[in-house]
């Protein structure tokens, strides 16, 4: 397998970190043993964790106002794969990449698959894009895509999704994520029911093109760019559409796509209960679809979501397998560092959720012992599982501290030389 960072650098880093890590691991192991938890089992569990990387996340993001490019940004999908390979090499938690079309549409699909394969990277669900007009496109999406009144725009949007499936198939992916920004900016602009009828009609065309072993993920979002009424605004609409379409259609929960203070973990519980939880776009937010790093604002919410996932797993076993992906925008940090950190934060919530004493919690609930029920969750959340995560990485050939090792490797500085900024790239541009 090809690696981007010299494995000697990782070994050197771990040699320095080993003594402290072993001490911390032994201390945590002892504490967990007194709680009836086997640290070795938890470390093995941590090693199974995987969250997919968004191809668009390795470039510096932007806001509606400006974009401030960083040094050594990837200039094409192959360079994006290189950066994703770094993240996976240093975390061993991100073996799949999720591509967005046409942003990252390869001219040679087989070559891209082979290129990724050399790093042992695979492809997660592919994402369609009918929220922008592309150069030379025949029909505009200005007034909607899958919901447009224009039959031509709708047909074009369906066709684009079908092409995404074809591309994804050639890449070995098994799912299509559909997010549309369709909706209305003003009351009266749209017949609300009519728009959803057209959406469903279009999605039936997309659904019909799905291979047998594929799923389509419907991603809801409260608002933006439609500021009055978004067609697929909430999980209820998403659930109704996924149910209408059939068993291959599931709902995708992007953490940033809800009103502030929404109880997202309850949405997760509901979708899991009815077999429609397809997957996640992890990120964090304070106000809206901020796309901040996972776990950076509200790590307790992330933990509570994983607590519901652990409950669903305990109930449904192997059959319960939602797909995990990061969907973030990195405006002021090195995207590689943010993505590594975020993967680790999601993995942290996963491991913490395994610390919940489910039998004790069930008994507290049975006894209406409200205080202890809440404490059962807090106890798990407050446990610092960092030594487990570091040891899991180490055993999988990754560094104890991914960001520290990445900085020591000088990868970014090297890329800044190899990938010179395009002329004018430092001026701000709307993304
Ligand atoms: C929309 O806000 C979204 O979350 C969807 O997943 C898009 O495909 C993605 O962001 C990338 O812009
Ligand atoms: Mn998303
Ligand atoms: Mn979003």
DSSP string, 364-411: HHHTT-HHHHHHHHHHHHHS--HHHHHHHHHHTT--SSHHHHHHHHTH
Task: Give 194-234 pLDDT, tens digit per residue.
Answer: 999 999 999 999 999 999 999 999 999 999 999 999 999 99
The residue contributing the CA closest to ligand 1 atom 2 is 289
pLDDT of residue 181: 98
Q: How far does CA 310 lie from the centroid of its chain? A: 18
329 C-alpha to center of ligand 3: Å?
9
Q: Looking at the CA of 257, which ligand is closest?
A: 3
Calculate how far, in angstroms, residue 179's C-alpha sits from the geometric centre of ligand 1. Answer: 7
Would you state the pLDDT for residue 428?
A: 37
Backbone dihedral angles phi then psi of residue 66, each to the nearest 5 degrees: -165, 160
- Candidate of 52, 180, 182, 254 to mutate for ligand 1, largest count of ligand atoms within 8 Å of Cβ: 254
Query: Tell me: the pLDDT tens digits for 30-43?
Result: 999 999 999 999 99
Please list, in sequence order, all residues whose beta carbon lies within 8 angstroms of the beta carbon of residue 172, skipping any fewer than 6 positions away. 113, 122, 123
For 408, residues 6+ apart whose C-beta sits below 8 A from its C-beta are 9, 13
Residue 89 in contact with residue 398, Cβ under 8 Å?
A: yes
| Regions of the chain with pLDDT less than 50 | 424-431
What pLDDT does 45 receive?
98
The CATH number of 51-385 is: 3.20.20.150
Q: Which residues surround ligand 2, an ion (CB under 5 A)?
A: 254, 281, 327
Confirm if 212 and 251 have CB atoms less than 8 A apart. Answer: no
**CA distance linking residue 293 with residue 285, whole number of Å:** 8
- Atom index in ligand 1 nearest the CA of residue 54 equals 11
DSSP state letter for 420: P
Q: Is the pTM of this model over 0.90?
A: yes
Residue-level pLDDT at 423: 56
Token pair belonging to 336: 């590689």
277-282/96-98 β-pairing: unpaired
In the reported structure, the alpha carbon of residue 329 is separated from the centroid of ligand 1 by a whole-number distance in angstroms of 10
Domain boundaries, the chain: 51-385
Given a contact cutoff of 8 angstroms between Cβ atoms, the answer to whether 303 and 21 are in contact is: no
The DSSP 8-state label assigned to residue 323 in this structure reads E
Q: What is the total residue count of the chain?
A: 431
What ipTM is given for this predicted complex?
Answer: 0.99
The rounded Å distance from CA 197 to ligand 1 centre is: 23
Q: What is the pLDDT of residues 388-407, one digit of tens each?
A: 999 999 999 999 999 999 99
Find the ligand nearest to 127 CA: 1
Using CA positions, which residue lies closest to atom 1 of ligand 1? 179
CB 332 within 8 A of CB 398: no
**Whose atoms come closest to the Cα of 254: which ligand?**
2
φ, ψ for residue 220, nearest 5 deg: -90, 160
Q: Name all residues whose Cβ lies below 6 A of ligand 1.
A: 56, 127, 179, 219, 221, 254, 281, 289, 327
């Amino acid at each position: 397998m090809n690696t981007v960072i010299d494995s000697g650098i990782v070994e050197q880093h771990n040699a320095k970190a080993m003594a402290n890590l072993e001490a911390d691991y032994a201390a945590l192991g002892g504490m967990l043993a007194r709680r009836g938890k086997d640290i070795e089992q938890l470390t093995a569990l941590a090693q199974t964790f995987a969250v997919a990387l968004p191809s668009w996340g390795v470039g510096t993001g932007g806001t509606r106002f400006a974009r401030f490019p960083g040094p050594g940004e990837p200039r094409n999908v192959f360079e994006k794969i290189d950066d994703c390979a770094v993240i996976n090499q240093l975390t061993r938690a991100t073996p799949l990449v999720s591509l967005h079309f046409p942003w990252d549409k390869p001219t040679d699909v087989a070559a891209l698959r082979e290129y990724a394969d050399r790093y042992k990277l695979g492809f997660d669900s592919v994402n369609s894009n009918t929220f922008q007009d592309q150069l030379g496109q025949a029909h505009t999406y200005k007034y909607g895509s899958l919901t447009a009144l224009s039959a031509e725009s709708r047909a074009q949007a369906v066709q684009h999704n079908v092409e995404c499936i074809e591309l994804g198939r050639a890449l070995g992916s098994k799912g299509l994520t559909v997010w549309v920004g369709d909706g209305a900016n003003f009351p009266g602009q749209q017949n609300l029911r009519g728009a959803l009828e057209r959406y469903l009609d279009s999605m039936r065309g997309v659904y019909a093109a799905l291979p047998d072993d594929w799923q389509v993920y419907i991603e809801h979002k409260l608002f933006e760019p439609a500021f009055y009424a978004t067609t697929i605004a909430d999980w209820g609409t998403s659930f109704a559409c996924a149910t209408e379409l059939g068993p291959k259609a599931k709902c995708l929960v992007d953490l940033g796509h809800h009103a502030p203070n929404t109880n997202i973990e309850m949405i997760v519980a509901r979708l899991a209960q009815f077999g429609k939880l397809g997957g996640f776009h992890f990120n964090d937010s304070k106000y809206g679809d901020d796309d901040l790093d996972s776990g950076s604002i509200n790590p307790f919410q992330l933990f509570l979501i994983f607590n519901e996932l652990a409950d669903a797993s305990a109930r449904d076993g192997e059959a319960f397998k939602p797909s995990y992906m990061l969907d973030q925008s990195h405006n002021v940090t090195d995207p590689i560092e943010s993505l590594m950190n975020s993967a680790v934060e999601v993995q942290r919530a996963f491991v913490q959720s395994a610390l919940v004493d489910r039998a004790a919690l069930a008994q507290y609930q049975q006894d209406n012992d409200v205080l202890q029920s809440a404490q059962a969750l807090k106890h798990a959340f407050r446990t610092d599982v960092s030594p487990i995560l570091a040891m899991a990485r180490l055993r999988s050939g990754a560094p104890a501290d991914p960001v520290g090792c990445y900085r020591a490797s000088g990868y970014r500085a090297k890329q800044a030389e190899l990938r010179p900024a395009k002329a004018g790239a430092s001026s701000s541009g709307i993304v």
